[in-house]
Amino acid sequence: MVLISIVLILFFLMMTGIVYNEINTGVQNTLKYYSSENLFNRFFVLGKTVDDATSYAIDPATICVVGVNEYNEISMLDSGGGVMDADVLGFSVDYAMQNDSEFGIVPRYRLLYYKNRIGPGYRIAFADSTRYFVNLKDMLFAAGVLFLATLLVLYIIYRQMAKIFIKPVEKAWTQQQNFIADASHELKTPLTVILANCDILLSHPTQTVDDQIKWVESTNEEASHMKELVNKMLFLAKNEAMRPQQIYDMLNLSDLVTKVMLQFEPVAFEAGVEIASQIEPDIEIRADGTAVNQIIHILVDNAVKYAGIGGNVQVTLKKTKTHVILSTHNSGAPIPAEDLPHIFERFYRSDKARTSGSGYGLGLAICKSLAEQQHADISVASDAEHGTEFTVRFSKPRGRKKVSEK
């Protein structure tokens, strides 16, 4: 805004200078016209010809023309429409003759003048400057109002634009801060357990591994959890930053979903969840098989995990004219409405206190990242009446050409 203000000030100064020069030029040309030899020779009709050369900065009715000889004496006078006192006229003529410039102003009486050399003497045209200064004042006032109005409008526009442009940056910054805080929180617990186990082991240096096996196993379990968390964080960062090389090929999605469903049947049985599917046969998409397989695993695992004991999970695969739609539906507690816009963010979980659930809050973030790589849309809907449903929409393939891209 400071730079724009400077540019605007320079622009308005330039425009004001141009208008001021135009006013001065008009005034000079008008007074020069009245002080010319041809017009002066027709002084007796001056009052009738004032409309021939008028200026918006001078009132022609105030113009008075004087002839001055080589001795600086007034030799001829045509007051025209203007009437000047003898003392005022004498002082003004002396002032004009003492100045080298042809055009100027008599400050004491605020009279504009232009002296035109005619032979050995001069012809001087005087005019009242009231309209001249009124025009300058109006011009400066209009320019100032226009400048302030323009600056205000630009300030409002740029403020709104700044909000729009800064909003994604602010969001990214907030997510980064949350990511650091959440990652620290997730790593703090296993590190605390590992250090506590090590202290216990060090406090009994004479005991055998068999005597301290539970602390060794606990340390190993927490280290495995840390490794899993770090691997997921690295995988997500790599996906978002570099887009790993993928092979896009025709993939039988019906067979892949069926295969994953078979893998999760024992998991669902142990969790006390009934799992079912409705899969249209021989549905194909062009995608990376590894990425799609991981998407299906994450969604089905998430559905089984939050269906609750005695709940049910329904996996559906169908196609429309333009898309292939994969959805997972589960019963159980719905996702709060205020959490839905954030459900795909890293480390985000509805359990704010982190006192329940076994995940890290990275699965759905990874799922969204993988879906975007496959040019697919992922969404979620959840309420108490209908349960929770995640939906992935893949574009239908148009050909069978193998594509490799990074």
Residue 406, classified by CB atoms within 10 Å of its CB into exposed (0-12), middle (13-18) or buried (19+), is exposed
Section 190-219 average pLDDT: 85
Q: Which of 224, 239, 254 represents a domain boundary (last residue)? A: 239
My answer on whether 28 and 122 are in the same domain is: yes
Residue 214 maps to which CATH number?
1.10.287.130
Same domain, 77 and 214: no
Model pTM above 0.85: no
Do 116 and 28 lie in a common domain? yes
53 has pLDDT over 80: no
Kindly state whether residues 235 and 248 are assigned to the same domain: no
Same domain? For 227 and 297 the reply is no
Taking alpha carbons only, the member of 138, 82, 143 closest to residue 112 is 82
- CATH number, domain of 350, equals 3.30.565.10
Same domain, 228 and 90: no
Chain-centroid distance, C-alpha 265: 49
Is the domain of 147 the same as that of 77? no
Distance (Å, whole) CA 355 – CA 277: 32
pLDDT in tens, 223-234: 887 887 787 777
Helices (H), 243-348: 253-270, 289-307
pLDDT in tens, 82-121: 677 788 888 988 999 988 888 989 988 889 999 988 888 8
> Domain limits at 23?
2-128
Do residues 361 and 342 make contact, with C-beta atoms less than 8 angstroms apart?
Answer: no
Q: Mind listing the pLDDT tens digit for each residue in 367-388?
A: 888 898 888 999 999 988 889 9
389 vs 175 pLDDT, higher one: 389
Query: Could you say which of 209, 239, 269 is where a domain stops?
Result: 239
Number of domains in the chain: 3
Give the chain's mean pLDDT.
81
The angle, 0 to 180 degrees and rounded to 10, between the axes of the packed helices 213-242 and 130-203 is 150
Do residues 263 and 377 both lie within one domain? yes
**pLDDT tens, 252-306?**
999 999 999 998 898 899 889 999 999 999 999 988 888 899 899 989 999 998 8
- 10 shares a domain with 119: yes
Same domain, 13 and 78: yes
Distance CA 25, CA 102 (A): 13
Helices (H) and strands (E) in the chain, counts: 9, 13
The pLDDT confidence band at residue 70, using thresholds 50, 70 and 90, is: confident
Task: Write the DSSP symbol of residue 319.
Answer: E
Cα(167)–Cα(300) distance, integer angstroms: 34
**One-character DSSP codes across 123-149:** EEEEEE-HHHHHHHHHHHHHHHHHHHH
Residue that is last in its domain, among 223, 239, 255: 239
Q: Is residue 92 located within the same domain as residue 143?
A: no
Q: 251 with 225, same domain? A: no
